[in-house]
Amino acid sequence: MILVIDIGNSTCKFGLFDKNEIVAVWKAVTRDQKTSDEYAILIRSWFEQNKFNPADVKGVVLSSVVPNLTHSFVSTISKTFQLTPLILKAGVKTGIAIQVDDPREVGADRIADVAAGFYLYGGPCLVMNFGTATTFDLVNADGLFHAAVTSPGIQISADALWSRTAMLPHVEIACPPSILAKNTVHSMQAGLIYGYVGQVEYITRKMKEEARCPEAKVIATGGYTQVIHSKTDVIDVYDPLLTLKGLKLIWDKNNGR
């Protein structure tokens, strides 16, 4: 089995693959104050509860956008599995050529996303990840990653709205009954959801237009995708496990599979 780990700003996502089938997925809140021992206990307990044997894990691949945690997880993996993980960074085979000003600036999770988008769904493709930030990454038909857009995530937008206004309450990030809102909560929800849908549709259209690839397939992943996906027709594929699948594909490429 292969364990894939995606360390994000808000959550750490884990996926366990048996050959090419993902057999288990779980998440933990990202806390960079946790020690490697604490994460080791967390992983061991999860394996025990779900009746998986850590000795069956033959490889681990790791992506991280939280540098403080990368070293901790290397130690965690060594203690738990007696393995050294493959860390997704410059020099690792991904099958994607990154043609931006500085490829080292591209987050590891974004590389995993576009690798999965391209190899699972074909190119050209526009891969969106609705996480802490919302990212839009464009890959052409030849597997060339050549354009990226980053915007505040919907939760960041919501936090800014109610933290900067004395009279507005915290509200659930959910679609209101109608955009024609008649109370404060629905008004805020309408602004958040439909404002975000408008952003997604405009950025998608503009990126396709300037890249001259109107046929690019749009693939979405990330925690807030479901809120947006049902309100727009620009998303062709919703794959909640895209990042984990991309990490497994990259592990395979670096291990002769």
| Catalytic annotation, residues | 109
Among candidate residues 163, 168, 151, 174, the one with its CA nearest the CA of residue 224: 174
Instruction: Return d(Cα 196, Cα 198) in angstroms, integer.
Output: 5
Instruction: Return d(Cα 243, Cα 191) in angstroms, integer.
Output: 29
Instruction: Return d(Cα 224, Cα 104) in angstroms, integer.
Output: 26
Quickly tell me which residue has 């979405």 as its tokens.
Answer: 220
Instruction: Return d(Cα 195, Cα 179) in angstroms, integer.
Output: 10
CA distances from 90 to 93, 108, 139, 190 (A): 9, 9, 18, 41
Compute CA 59 distance to the chain's CA centroid, rounded to the nearest angstrom. 21
Structure tokens at 254: 């670096």
Residues linked to residue 237 through DSSP beta bridges, in sequence order: 219
Among candidate residues 129, 2, 110, 3, the one with its CA nearest the CA of residue 65: 110
Residue pair 88/107 in contact by the 8 Å Cβ criterion: no
Strands 59-64 and 2-7: parallel
